[in-house]
């Protein structure tokens, strides 16, 4: 008897703790279901600001707030302190990527190793480096505040078509090691980069230039772009009241220009599958708890009766 009483006490106590937690979990799942999937999904690849820069080693034309793209650390390690920042701009008109690497807190870089100051896309080659020169035609390169041995950073440009890439910024800073330098990279050495240029959607137009004056009412099954010379082309027989100018009846097959099916730069609506999963789990948990508590509620009503 004592064992049975003890077990019932333990079950009752556990139920008072577990059931409120289960109800809370169900509420959280249902709440997540109404959150936009775009807020819980993966973020889009980051984009640089739009614009150009003059590759001359001066940083006055950069916005060190808005243009900042990534932090840079020793060997690109997330556990190391930030020693530099990577700034990016993209000019859609010329399809040119501009980059600036600038040390912080007095950090400088080895100007004597120009081949190790570079920007790399998709893990191959170098979009530009300290050996690119600077003739006004990308790729270009320039050190920032160089003294012949050290510099505060570098900037450069490279021709890059719109698209999705990974980007690595690399440079060397001096240290007290045997080789007297430490590599500096953006964290992870492969930040996602998305270069997007919006293009206006063309609007179909039609110009009808008849050789005679006529007043016509026609019903067509598609939008036609035509330049008739005395004949109106349509896919259905129109009802027309021609004037004395003598316009022939509608004949032939029209040249049809269908309206565009999508707008360039638009995005598909986000998937709602994640919301449905959250909603389903929440309702299942809530339903199970309700069924478990239903006998207890009925017994309570009987006792009150």
Report the distance separating Cα 264 and Cα 91, nearest Å: 19
Contact 67, 100 (CB under 8 A): yes
**SS3 for 296?**
helix
**pLDDT tens for each residue of 69-80:** 999 999 999 999
Joined tokens for residue 35: 């959150």
Domain ranges of the chain: 16-38+276-304, 49-195
Residues 6+ apart with CB under 8 A from 148: 111
**pLDDT tens for each residue of 99-127:** 999 999 999 999 999 999 999 999 999 99
pLDDT tier at 286 (50, 70, 90 boundaries)? confident
- Confidence check: pLDDT of 43 > 50: no
**pLDDT tens for each residue of 260-284:** 443 333 333 444 445 666 667 777 7
Give pLDDT, residue 248.
44
Residues 6+ apart with CB under 8 A from 177: none
Contact 152, 103 (CB under 8 A): yes
pTM: 0.55
Contact 128, 116 (CB under 8 A): no
Contact 218, 234 (CB under 8 A): yes
- Confidence check: pLDDT of 162 > 80: yes
């Amino acid at each position: 008897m004592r064992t049975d009483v003890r077990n019932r006490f333990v079950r009752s106590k556990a139920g008072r703790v577990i059931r409120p937690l289960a109800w809370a979990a169900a509420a959280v799942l249902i709440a997540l279901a109404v959150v936009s999937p775009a807020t819980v999904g993966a973020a889009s690849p980051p984009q640089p600001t739009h614009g150009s820069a003059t590759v001359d080693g001066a940083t006055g034309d950069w916005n060190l707030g808005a243009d900042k793209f990534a932090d840079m650390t020793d060997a690109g390690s997330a556990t190391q302190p930030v020693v530099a920042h990577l700034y990016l701009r993209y000019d859609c008109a010329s399809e040119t990527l501009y980059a600036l690497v600038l040390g912080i807190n007095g950090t400088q870089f080895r100007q004597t190793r120009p081949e190790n100051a570079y920007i790399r896309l998709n893990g191959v080659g170098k979009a530009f480096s300290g050996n690119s020169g600077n003739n006004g035609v990308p790729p270009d390169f320039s050190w920032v505040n160089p003294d012949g041995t050290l510099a505060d950073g570098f900037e450069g440009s490279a021709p890059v078509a719109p698209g999705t890439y990974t980007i690595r910024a690399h440079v060397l800073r001096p240290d007290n090691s045997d080789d007297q330098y430490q590599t500096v990279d953006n964290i992870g050495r492969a930040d996602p980069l998305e270069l997007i240029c919006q293009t206006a959607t063309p609007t179909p137009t039609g110009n009808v230039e008849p050789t005679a004056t006529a007043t016509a009412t026609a019903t067509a099954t598609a939008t036609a772009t035509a330049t008739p010379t005395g004949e109106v082309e349509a896919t259905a027989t129109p009802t027309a009241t021609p004037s004395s100018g003598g316009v022939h009846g509608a004949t032939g097959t029209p040249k049809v220009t269908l309206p565009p099916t999508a707008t360039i730069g638009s995005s598909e609506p986000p998937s709602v599958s994640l919301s449905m999963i959250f909603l389903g789990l929440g309702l299942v948990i809530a339903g199970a708890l309700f069924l478990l508590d239903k006998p207890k509620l009925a017994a309570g009503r009987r006792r009150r009766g």
